[in-house]
Amino acid sequence: MKVKIQSIHFDADKKLLDFIENKVGKLNTYSNKIIDGEVFLRLDKSSSHENKIAEIKLMVPGNDLFAKRQCKTFEEATDLAVEALRRQLKKQKEKTLP
C-alpha cells in the first residue's frame, strides 16, 4: 500500500512522517485489499490545545474508509484514526465472510 501524506499550511518533520507511514502501513495486516492511503494533517484555528487534525482515507475495493480525529498532537490523532480504521476494516471483513 502506498501512503500519501499531505500537511496543509505547514511542513511536517521527517519523524512525524515516518511515524504516520508506520502506523498506517500496519493496517495491511487487517486487510490485503487496501489499494492506497491518504493522510491529511491540518491545524485547526481554534484556541483550544486540541487543534491538530489527522484525516485518513483508505481506498478499498467496494468503498473507501475514512477516519478523522482531533487531538493535542498529530501522533495521538493518527493513533486514534488508525484505530478507528482498524475497527472498520475488521467489520468489513466480517461482513464478507459467510
Listed by start position, the domains of the chain span: 2-96
Task: For residue 63, name the pLDDT band (cuts at 50, 70, 90).
Answer: confident
CATH of domain 2-96: 3.30.160.100
Nearest to 93 by CA among 37, 36, 27: 27
Distance of CA 48 to the CA centre of its chain: 22
Nearest to 88 by CA among 10, 31, 12, 45: 31
| Per-residue pLDDT reduced to its tens digit, 6-17 | 999 899 999 999
Residue 50 gets which letter from DSSP?
Answer: -
Question: Chain-wide mean pLDDT for the chain?
Answer: 92
C-beta of residue 71 within 8 angstroms of C-beta of residue 50: yes
With a CB cutoff of 8 Å and minimum separation 6, the contacts of 27 are: 1, 34, 37, 58, 82, 85, 86, 89
